[in-house]
Homo-oligomer: A and B are copies of this chain.
Amino acid sequence: MTLDNIREEINKANTIVILTHETPDGDAIGSSMAMYNSLKQLNKEVDLIIPEYADTFKFLPNSKEIKKEGRKDVYDLAIALDCGDIKRLNGFAKYFEDAKVTINIDHHSSNTMFADYNFVNPDAPATCQILILVLEHLKINITKEIGTCLLTGIITDTGGFKYAATTAETFEFTAWLLGIGVNVADTYKRVLEIKTRSNFELTKIAENRIEFLEEGKISYTYITKEDENRVNAKQGDHEGLVNIGREIKGVEVSVLLREDKQGYKVSLRSNNYVNVADICVLFGGGGHIRAAGCLLHTNLQDAKDKIINEIKKHLR
């Protein structure tokens, strides 16, 4: 059984590297930090490599120890967390490929099973929720610190316990975390609620531009590079903008276009029936049925036309 193999390989290894996907969100950082703190508990020589991440997550216990580069010699073991594809390993796939043994723990249904041992559960709402089982199997003492890391991923990827993928285990584990003294409300606030001023300014811009199309079933808005520069946006400041439209009564698909070096990044969210992953796949992207994205190498008007025309075909 994969879990037994994972335990054996971790027990055997002395030097371990932990990697996660590029532009890491709360589940990527939370699961990586939970694994890092757990392996420290097992007295391993462990490096967690994340070149850049949002300030939001700097409150996580021991996040100061996150490194930008790994060691020169080959690691005994590499563990990828919350990463569906080796190409998304922050540009640090070399540490993974060079390692003697590799493990991949994830919840993306598109996971390419790129490691020696792959523990992938697409039904789990977060990689952090999968880690509960893994850490128990490793006989890790889930401390307040490790619990806070796990909760960070759970809160991020369930949208604060609100998405349909949230399970009874999500709620039971959170109750248990409260019992061991984890400050759930504080973690929630830090991870999901507190907006930077730049994010607030981008929100205003995106809101003021929202158009409702097809009898209000589509909401459309965009932000440009110039907008982001003007409000001094940093990594993560555009997070959540695509949700503005999704939350308005009658909207089935919310569209956000965000200017990128190569064109416009498209983010789609749907509420009830449109499979937005299907739409994004047509344009070389992908994702989940209610949340997906793609990149269009064109100008704003053309990107808007292309994506809206495709969405229209899916509306009832």
Binding site for B on A (CB under 8 A): 160-164, 166-172, 174-176, 178-179, 184-186, 188-189, 192-197, 200, 203-204, 207-208, 210, 212, 216, 247-250, 271
Most chain B CB within 10 A, of A162, A178, A196, A203, is at A162
Residues of B within 8 A of A210 (CB): 200
Q: Tell me if A195 and B160 are in contact (CB < 8 A).
A: no
Residues of B within 8 A of A208 (CB): 204, 208
Interface contact B166-A184, CB-CB below 8 Å: yes
16 residue pairs A–B, Cβ–Cβ below 8 Å: A160-B162, A161-B174, A162-B188, A162-B189, A162-B192, A164-B186, A166-B184, A167-B178, A171-B171, A172-B175, A194-B248, A195-B247, A197-B216, A197-B250, A204-B207, A207-B207
Chain B residue nearest in CB terms to A243: B193
From B171, B184, B271, A175 is in contact (CB under 8 Å) with B171
Given contacts A160-B161, A207-B207, contact A200 B248 (CB under 8 A): yes
Partner of A179, one of B168, B204, B207: B168
Q: How far is the CA of A250 from the CA of B167 in the complex (A)?
A: 33
Q: What residues of chain B lie closer than 8 Å to A161, measured between beta carbons? A: 160-161, 174, 184, 188
Contact of A168 among B166, B170, B178, B185 (CB under 8 A): B178
Q: How far is the CA of A187 from the CA of B250 in the complex (A)?
A: 16
Q: A178 vs B166: C-alpha distance in the bound complex, in angstroms?
A: 9
Question: Min CB distance, A195 to chain B, in Å?
Answer: 5
Q: Which chain B residues border A174 with CB–CB below 8 Å?
A: 161, 171
Kindly state the separation between the CA atoms of A166 and B249 in the bound complex, as whole angstroms. 28
Q: Is the CB of B197 within 8 A of A249?
A: yes
Residues from chain B with a CB closer than 8 A to the CB of A194 are: 247-249
- Taking a contact as CB atoms under 8 Å apart, the answer to whether B195 and A166 are in contact is no
Q: A175-B175, A194-B247, A194-B249 are in contact. List 15 more A-B contacts (CB 8 A).
A: A160-B160, A161-B188, A162-B192, A162-B193, A164-B186, A168-B175, A168-B176, A169-B175, A170-B175, A172-B172, A172-B175, A195-B249, A197-B249, A200-B210, A204-B208
Give the CA-CA distance A169 to B174 in the complex, in Å: 10
A167's nearest neighbour on chain B, judged by CB, is: B178
In angstroms, how far is the closest chain B Cβ from the Cβ of A299?
A: 27
Return A68 CB to nearest CB of chain B, in Å: 25
CB contacts (< 8 Å) of A175 on chain B: these are: 168-172, 175
Nearest residue, chain B, Cβ from A162:
B188
Q: Shortest Cβ distance from A115 into chain B, in angstroms?
A: 32
List, in ascending order, chain B residues with CB within 8 A of A169's CB.
175
Give bound CA distance, A271 to B178, whole Å.
20
